[in-house]
Structure 1
Amino acid sequence: MLPLNNISKLKLLEIIGRITFFKAFTINEREKLLNSTKVYKCIKDQNVQSELDHNSHFYIVLTGEVEITRQGGKQPLGKISAGQFIGEGSFIKKRPKSASAKAVSDSLVLCMDQDTLHGLPSTLKDKFKDAVIEGMAQRIHYLSDEIQQFHDKFSPK
């Protein structure tokens, strides 16, 4: 991934303004967040994260699409797109990554780490944590629906 240096803060503010993850943030809070984090460009087929990574980075997809895989798996686990995130398990608990992710199309991702989060003002930190919790709740709801559909399809009648 390459750090994104050739795009204006105004354009990045416009992009994150369209992302549901940031809906509770004021414009000033979004700007402060952008000044504290890094945004990367990930070209098609380039890794965003790997199961071999030993960091607690949390990535929010701003544009594009990212495919999630596991080592040794033959099929992708799924895809995520703008507004969704990866790396939350290692971000929260500082444990190894549970999956790898690579760009399906050219993508922009915002990277947050624990040190950066701890350095933010408490109101901004709380909003960020709340957005992570909301995103995880949405993912649980989605996966519950997937499990139910799988069960309905394959359970004996």
Structure 2
Amino acid sequence: MRLLEHIPLIKQLEIVNRLEFFKEFTVAERQVLLESFGCLYLINAHRHAFKRFERDDKLYIVLSGELSIYSKSEHDELGRIKPGEFVGEGAFISHRERSTNAIALVDTIVLAITAEALTRLPNVVREKIKDQLIIGMSLRIAKLNAHIEQEDKSH
């Protein structure tokens, strides 16, 4: 994973403006978020964003590309994270080690957010990030419930 330091703010805004995650943010709030974090990373195809059991409590929002999430083997994919979606919320929220692996399927750009950086953001921006995490996590729970129900019906 390589820190991207020379992407103009206007280009960063252009990217986040297209993503569902940021739809409730004003342009000014998006700008504050990007200027405050400034942590865009490039994960080259077939490279890990993070590995299971690592101590890394960053939340990653995918801006472009796609990540595959798996537990033990890349052949046992748990899901894919696409632009506008996030990964790493468990370690981010509870400050525990990673429970899964994340590998880039193609060159992928992510915005990395640390808990410490989150506390320095204006309340309105922080609350909007939290709202998006809650929405995203509830969608994952609904998807998981549907998967479990499907499994039950097939047995």
Report the secondary structure of 1:16's partner residue. helix
Q: Which residue of 1 aligns with 2:16?
A: 16
Cα distance, 1:73 vs structure 2: 6.8
Q: Which AA in structure 2 matches 1:125? A: R
What SS does the aligned partner of 2:42 have?
A: strand
1:93 alignment counterpart: 94
What amino acid sits opposite 2:16 in the alignment? I
Partner Cα distance (1:2, 1:74) in 2: 26
Q: Is the 8 A contact 2:42 2:108 kept in 1?
A: yes
1:82 is aligned with what amino acid?
A: P
TM-score (norm 1): 0.92
Q: TM-score if structure 2 supplies the norm length?
A: 0.94
Is 1:28 the counterpart of 2:11 in the alignment? no
For the residue of structure 1 that corresponds to 2:77, the secondary structure is: coil
> Residue deviations 1:119-152, cap 9 Å, x none?
1111111111111111111111121222222222
Q: What is the percentage of aligned positions where both structures have the same residue?
A: 37
Q: How many residues align?
A: 154
Runs of 4+, deviation exceeding 6 Å: none
Q: Distance in 1 between matches of 2:104 and 2:119?
A: 28
1:69, 1:57 → 2: CA distance?
A: 18
1:72 positional shift: 5.2
Q: Is the 8 A contact 2:46 2:104 kept in 1?
A: yes
Q: Provide the C-alpha distance between the structure 1 equivalents of 2:27 and 2:119, rounded to a whole number of angstroms.
A: 20
- The CA distance in 2 between the partners of 1:53 and 1:12, in whole Å, is 28
1:1-157 paired onto structure 2 within 5 Å: 1-37=1-37, 38-71=39-72, 74-152=75-153, 154-155=154-155
Task: Output the amino acid matched with 1:19.
Answer: L
**1:83 shift after superposition:** 1.1
What is the CA-CA distance between 1:7 and the residue it aligns to?
2.0
Q: Deviations over 1:81-116 (max 9, x none)?
A: 111111100111111111010100011100001100
Q: Which runs of 5+ in 2 are unaligned?
A: none
- C-alpha root-mean-square deviation of aligned residues, in Å? 1.3
